[in-house]
Structure 1
Amino acid sequence: MDMKMGSSSRFNCCAILFCFTFLTLNLFASATIVSHDGRAITIDGKRRVLLSGSIHYPRSTAEMWPDLIKKSKEGGLDAIETYVFWNAHEPTRRQYDFSGNLDLVRFIKTVQAEGLYVVLRIGPYVCAEWNYGTMVGLILGEAAGGPYITTSYDYDAPLDEFGNLNQPKWGHLKQLHEVLHSIEETLTHGNITTIDYHNSVTATIYATEKVSSCFLGNANSTSDATIDLHGTKYTVPAWSVSILPDCQNVAYNTAKVKTQTSVMIKKKNQAEDEPSSLKWSWRPENTDRTVILGKGHIQTSQLLDQKAAANDASDYLWYMTSVHLKKDDSIWSRDMSLRVNGSGQILRAYVNGKYLDSQWSKYGVFSDIFEKNIKLKLGHNLISLLSSTVGLANYGPKYDLIQTGIPGPVELVGR
């Protein structure tokens, strides 16, 4: 995209939003009331521990959904969680897209057909490495928190980007889910007590009248711990948790992997053996319209933020202006420079149809000064600036207020 400025020598990642969470029930469930009693989610009055995994529907094809969901269920999950990606559904105001891998209804029905629940995080904020958290064009007001907690297994997902089982994580987590399901009644109804052994070592006990379940935790990152619980000693590896469903026998430890390990073997692409079948061609971009003619889609008397002007439809925005210099202008000099205060990731400058220079900003730096010597002429001069972004921040304090593009000022400095 591009825009044209009026003539002048001077012109001017985790905020957390409350996400309403809906639990969509499958066809085979008889539940009619979903609530939370302060201890657990309840379905028809029964306390539940629901194990949920994330599948972001726009990040896979609709044809992949059934297999991904089936493997999730086999891994011991009760629910599939997903955000609603609003900037994908409404790329332009009041123009909606729910086709293909954006077919949210189809995705929910596919989960439903597998007998799982859906945790639908309707947003609008998305904290999932999604450009600008889907918030392009929106102004955020205040932040709030909700009663739901989600946990993360970081970026090594149990299913890889192709839908293959990522072993040993998938099998290791399946065992964890089986153990947690076996003590659901104790977790949701038992009285909770904690024994502090100091040095970041604890025992948490869930006890009902019938049975007790214990969690032995060692938060030390380098040293194992020995815990004496009810006269029995247990060794808990560093940075791990042991689960004892009956407070006597260890059924699971987060650091002890007992499942198979899979190794992905990369095979050479056979197409590389047939270079004749691969034909590359370069097509230079025609920049005459912006660099030489200074023409844009809109004309404005002030600099616009790139998010507002491009609306995430493009990572590029041209800023163009013309400057008419006279010999008696106080700024006129044979030693002049162009100074630009930018906030995009990359800035390229052209003067009178010729490339001047480029500058790349540093990571985390949202205000950068570009200044280069230029040679202008008496009379008409065209200055064209190309601002490029490589994605917008999607989290952090007031991330929505971070400017992009060229906020200005843009100055001609004469000496």
Structure 2
Amino acid sequence: MKSKWVLLFLMIFQLGFQIMHCSVTYDNKAIVINGERRILISGSIHYTRSTPEMWEDLVKKAKDGGLDVIDTYVFWNVHEPSPGNYNFEGRYDLVRFLKTVQKAGMYVHLRIGPYVCAEWNFGGFPVWLKYVPGISFRTDNEPFKRAMKGFTEKIVNLMKSAKMFESQGGPIILSQVENEYGSVGKAYGGDGLNYMKWAANMAVGLGTGVPWVMCKEDDAPDPIINTCNGFYCDEFSPNKPYKPTLWTEAWSGWFTEFGGPVYERPVQDLAFGVARFIQKGGSFVNYYMYHGGTNFGRSSGGPFITTTYDYDAPIDEYGLIRQPKYGHLKELHTVIKQCEPALVSVDPVITTLGSLQQAHVFSPDSRPCAAFLSNYDPNNIAKVTFNNKHYTLSPWSISILPDCNNVAFNTAQVGVESTQLEMLVSDSKMFSWETFTEDLTVSDEGSMFTATGLLEQINVTRDTSDYLWYTTSVDIDSSESFLRGGELPKLLVQSSGHVLHVFINGEHSGSGFGSRKHRKVTYKENINLRAGSNKIALLSVAMGLPNIGGHYEEWETGVLGPVALYGLNQGKRDLSWANWTYQAGLKGEAMNIISSNARSSIKWMQDSLITQKPPPLTWHKAYFNAPDGDEPLALDMKSMGKGEAWVNGQSIGRYWTTFANGDCQGCHYAGTYRPLTCQIGCGQPTQRWYHVPRSWLKSTNNLLVLFEELGGDPSMVSLVKRSMVQ
């Protein structure tokens, strides 16, 4: 009998221990885990932007770099591609990713949103959501709230069933609802405020047992923690004195857009920003991104965001460590952890050391003292005296003294050896090139329809393809003056974006291109017409759907007019309200040309039989063997124009060798609260190399398929290795 009581006592004790072990709360100083305040260092790694085979290595490198937490968004559009049909497999296996983090002994911040922004197509919303009757995104709208709640509950219940919340012994210590809503909500007025409060109450009501946050939302109601995103967040304070100071996005660099330069953020400035945040009482920092990864397929939004999402992160797009960024931040994290007992115990005492110099001192009664000595002068060294000892502070730097005496780390002094990451030609060669050209004279009657006037592109394609054909016929009388040697007529096409290719009687007449800042395209060129019937075919190309802005679901894409002919005998002829025939997608897409099991009716032509440069809208395929070694791989696409590439049926994303334009500004400070940033790559292709995950390859006979819009040279495409060079 006594043994039963002992066993019962042990069971109760163990249960109590588990409950205590799984407790996550917060106070004014920090997130509290198991009753202990923590300084937490986090990094964003998005499971969708890498492969499952990469996850374990990425997480290990993050932990070795001094991180405690992995942060990820949850991407609604990949998980629910159609209403009620869910996908959590492969790159979308969220539970597997979180268990990988848990296995490494790390925590998770799960940013459910489900709006994510993230330079992701449609901000992470599925396109079908746009067509729910009566819907209006991210406001006090019942159809939207009903759909949003349904997906949020789906994710929370999935996490609960897998015991992923820390309250269940899992790794999730924080969750986020909504994302950077503050400015949008203010623009919506009362409806925005009501929606924000509803979202907060809905999330808390799901009973996860861990705190919820809202980033960039000053009005976040209790118990939601409002947090900061930005290059610097040291001036941020939570909206209540009993909430901790959290930085959910410390931007490690910036994303890249086609036609723009590549942005880099020197690690000295990033470390300075983090140290300045910590010295003012911050207790949670998340690097956005710690590993940016790749926008595979058609996942990039914007539009015009590149396939690479490298973000100048400590771990590069391919999973390799970027030095000195990784190592310098690791040293910073080590020193911050040495200071942790002091940082979580008391508020800093701030003293002035000079006109642009300060000391932040943490002096708990029973724990070691820690000090941060700051020099806010971006140009000059400062000599200061602290605790009767002299210190030399580098410009724009913070020195950290874990014992209030000895400098263990200075943000501006990098002792980590730099390594150079290069692309080296592999021993793998492309062979058996064949070509298939889209036949513009033959249409797929089953996928076509005719309507009067110009239709918005996404309403027709539902984003199942980047491509929509607009085709009409124009009759030209033989009396037209241009047929007798006069000036050619001019075609005007105005499109809401993003790229336009014009074909007259099956011949390519020209193209127009938008940009991220100026999405609209205006095409106004002379065209060759003949007596009788002429076919005008406009191919509108989307470069990703918008991901940010108020009511961005209402943004229009495609040829919306006017479309008109000028220079005819009778003057202007407006074609905007003519009868237009529509066809969504390409013939090659309909024939599943990217698959090794594509229709046998496809008439491929050997490249050796092609005597001139391939015309626009041409498919190319070749085979290659996997190269030796284990280095990450990429396609060198410098010889191509614009299109999409697939390896063994998997899309590696959109490619475009458009050149970075504008004035590359080098490295400069943009102001006290703007980072030291560098713009590089002007005069070079914005993106030349495209990641090919090794896990997608077989040892031999891998199928590469390219769809080329402009007529590039596929014979120059090569497979390269991403390698670290000392």
CA change 1:224–1:134 in 2 (3 A) is same
Counterpart pick for 1:268 among 410, 420, 425: 425
Match of 2:159 in 1: none
CA change 1:201–1:298 in 2 (3 A) is farther
Q: Which amino acid aligns with 1:251?
A: A
User: 1:76 deviation in Å?
Assistant: 1.6
Counterpart pick for 1:174 among 330, 333, 342: 330
Aligned length: 380
Distance 2:356 2:460 in 1: 52
Q: Specify the SS of the correspondent of 2:348.
A: strand
Match of 2:379 in 1: 222
Match of 2:400 in 1: 243
User: 1:121 deviation in Å?
Assistant: 0.8
Match of 2:471 in 1: 320
CA change 1:358–1:260 in 2 (3 A) is closer
What pairs up with 1:359-398 in 2 under 5 angstroms?
Answer: 359-374=512-527, 381-395=534-548
Match of 2:370 in 1: 213
Once the two structures are overlaid, the 10-residue window that deviates more, 263-272 or 252-261, is: 263-272
- Contact 1:366–1:403 (Cα < 8 Å) also in 2: no
Q: Specify the SS of the correspondent of 1:233.
A: strand
Q: Which amino acid aligns with 2:469?
A: W
Match of 2:434 in 1: 281
CA RMSD of aligned residues (A): 3.4
2:29 paired with 1:39: yes
User: 1:100 deviation in Å?
Assistant: 0.9
What pairs up with 1:67-78 in 2 under 5 angstroms?
Answer: 67-78=57-68
User: 1:298 deviation in Å?
Assistant: 4.3
What pairs up with 1:12-161 in 2 under 5 angstroms?
Answer: 31-135=21-125, 137=127, 138=130, 140-142=137-139, 143-144=181-182, 145-146=216-217, 147-148=226-227, 149-150=247-248, 151-154=250-253, 155-161=311-317
Distance 2:555 2:355 in 1: 42
Distance 1:243 1:381 in 2: 74
User: 1:103 deviation in Å?
Assistant: 0.5
Distance 2:449 2:28 in 1: 55
CA change 1:162–1:381 in 2 (3 A) is closer
Residues 26-57 of structure 1 deviation map (CA, whole Å, 9 limit, x = unaligned) = xx995333233233212244322111112111
User: 1:118 deviation in Å?
Assistant: 0.9
Q: Specify the SS of the correspondent of 1:280.
A: strand
Q: Specify the SS of the correspondent of 1:288.
A: coil
- Contact 1:353–1:382 (Cα < 8 Å) also in 2: yes
- Contact 1:294–1:382 (Cα < 8 Å) also in 2: no
- Contact 1:136–1:307 (Cα < 8 Å) also in 2: no
Distance 1:181 1:298 in 2: 64
Distance 2:463 2:550 in 1: 21
Match of 1:183 in 2: 339
User: 1:336 deviation in Å?
Assistant: 4.7
Counterpart pick for 2:351 among 169, 176, 195: 195
Distance 1:365 1:216 in 2: 45
CA change 1:212–1:314 in 2 (3 A) is same
Distance 1:305 1:227 in 2: 64
CA change 1:117–1:304 in 2 (3 A) is farther
Distance 1:218 1:305 in 2: 55
User: 1:357 deviation in Å?
Assistant: 2.4
Match of 1:305 in 2: 456
Q: Which amino acid aligns with 1:105?
A: V
User: 1:117 deviation in Å?
Assistant: 0.8
User: 1:164 deviation in Å?
Assistant: 3.0
Distance 2:55 2:340 in 1: 28
Equivalent pairs: percent with the same residue? 41
Q: Which amino acid aligns with 1:95?
A: N
Distance 1:323 1:107 in 2: 56
Q: Give the structure-2-normalised TM-score.
A: 0.47
Counterpart pick for 2:410 among 253, 264, 270: 253
Q: Specify the SS of the correspondent of 1:391.
A: coil
Match of 2:175 in 1: none
CA change 1:209–1:64 in 2 (3 A) is same
- Contact 1:294–1:321 (Cα < 8 Å) also in 2: no
Distance 1:118 1:302 in 2: 51
2:556 paired with 1:403: yes
- Contact 1:136–1:312 (Cα < 8 Å) also in 2: no
CA change 1:37–1:270 in 2 (3 A) is same
Q: Show structure 2 runs of 5+ residues with no match.
A: 1-17, 131-135, 140-180, 183-215, 218-225, 228-246, 254-310, 479-485, 572-726
Q: Specify the SS of the correspondent of 1:215.
A: strand
- Contact 1:334–1:375 (Cα < 8 Å) also in 2: no
Runs ≥4 in structure 1, deviation > 6 angstroms? 324-327
User: 1:300 deviation in Å?
Assistant: 4.2
User: 1:66 deviation in Å?
Assistant: 1.6
Q: Show structure 1 runs of 5+ residues with no match.
A: 1-27, 328-332
Q: Which amino acid aligns with 1:152?
A: W
Distance 1:196 1:314 in 2: 60
User: 1:178 deviation in Å?
Assistant: 1.6
Once the two structures are overlaid, the 10-residue window that deviates more, 54-63 or 387-396, is: 387-396
Once the two structures are overlaid, the 10-residue window that deviates more, 251-260 or 198-207, is: 198-207
Which structure is higher in RCO with an 8 Å CA cutoff and minimum separation 6?
Answer: 1
Residues 217-261 of structure 1 deviation map (CA, whole Å, 9 limit, x = unaligned) = 233333222233233222221222211122221111112223344
Q: Specify the SS of the correspondent of 1:320.
A: strand
CA change 1:371–1:112 in 2 (3 A) is same
